[in-house]
Structure 1
């Protein structure tokens, strides 16, 4: 079970890295890109997935 926890921690770090990269891209690209793609939907999905992960970890 300890190896599973290590994998989970690595996955969390990886996800946070992707998320911070995504936030940086969003700031760089700006509102033109945001008009074409619904970033709000993506963020809501990401946050929902994250809360599911957090619930599984704390369970």
Structure 2
């Protein structure tokens, strides 16, 4: 009986790990994007941002 319980948990755990990794990566991307936007707005350098976009 305990073996079947462990196997069921082993089957469930990868899905939870995958979902957690997806959530963490999505949160990290959102935080980085917000930080870059805040840097451009706070330091008030739209000219440099436009030049950076033109060079890319």
Q: Give the structure-1-normalised TM-score.
A: 0.56
Structure 2 portions without partners, runs of 5+? 1-14
Secondary structure of 1:22's counterpart equals helix
Point out 4+ residue stretches in structure 1 off by more than 2 angstroms: none
Structure 1 portions without partners, runs of 5+? 42-59
Q: Give the structure-2-normalised TM-score.
A: 0.58
User: Max radius of gyration: which structure?
Assistant: 2
2:46 to 25, 31, 51: 31
